[in-house]
Structure 1
Amino acid sequence: MHIYAFGSVCRGDVSPNSDIDLLAITDGHDPRFDPDSYSIYSYKRISELWHEGNPFAWHLALESKLLFASDKNDYLKSLGDPAPYTNCVSDCEKFYSLFRDARTSLANNPASRVFDLSTIFLSLRNIASCFSLGATETPTFARNSATRLEALSINISSSAYQVLERARILCTRGYGNSISIAEASIAIQEFDEIDRWMDRLVKGAKSHERI
């Protein structure tokens, strides 16, 4: 059994909205680990992610810290670097599509605004992380990865970004004030810019793939 911390606590990037991300690697089911508190993986699945060059494997390789090892060895370090990440374009397209689907859902049903705004925050965070891993020299897996792409960072108002982030926290952690229709409209006004930004990232990923 191996237990790791990863994410913001390992980056030294903790904020009041941060949680502590914990990974448990086990042989089969272990009732000591609550899925609400741990990301739980088998050794086989972690090995598969490493061989796939999956972004989560790279996240762990770059931003994790061993907390406990039943065999006294650092299992992740023993795996070496993950395989090269080769799905940048398809992953960026996937999260671009996720944004557009959530945008359509919100337009059709404003009552789902918290969930849809949360999904939009997830899509912009993940497209930025995938783009940074596949098309730049400085991968970022931070919650605010969309703001850390230098010249390609997202360019929307801080108030709109905060609404999206609040929606994500509401959906994933269940705390914070609800998002009013007026607040949702602040984010909605930036959807065209988000669409243009995501389109630039997809095109940038395709250009990098051809190099």
Structure 2
Amino acid sequence: MSTPLRNSATRPLVLGSTSVYRRELLSRLRLPFSVEPPHVDETPLPGEQPEALARRLAEAKCAAVAKRHPGAVVIGSDQVADLDGEALGKPGNHANALTQLSRMSGRTVVFHTALAVMCEETGFAQQDLAPVRVRFRALETSEIEAYLRAEQPYDCAGSAKSEALGIALLDSIDSDDPTALVGLPLIRTCRMLRAAGLRPF
């Protein structure tokens, strides 16, 4: 069972991530933090469902960095796009992104954004999931091509940046934690950091 950290005001905060989007989001809380790549294999396990994959990777990333910084409060997060039970990862290139967006056209995709916060030294550990239901418009191939040329979102699960031009591809977003779709659910992050004894103000 997790217990709040003691004397945690002096504990460093580390974001275990290579994502520039998560770094920008965490900076909004105005807490000093460092960033360290977790170096975790993100290959799905056989038969692993998207939600389970997101949870496992968030915890694995957090644990990997926490072991290297046992006195720090560490944040780990992962996002997996779920299209009818199929995990959609980062497209990596134009062709894959075109295929992803074509498949998601006119459909609802659930983006599972998992979060973990740990401190190795004290045994503090919490995790949560922020699912976001996203409805894509019926998209013409020409629209998809124009969007991909303009934004090149090849490092984003689901091939669209909702915080930028990608919002024009969508009909609706349903979430109780608005920044979850970008990559880090800040409401849940604040809740866990408070439980760990760290407060933005």
Q: How does the TM-score come out when normalised to structure 1?
A: 0.29
Larger-gyration structure (1/2): 1
Name whichever structure is richer in helix by fraction.
1
Name whichever structure is richer in strand by fraction.
2
Q: How does the TM-score come out when normalised to structure 2?
A: 0.30
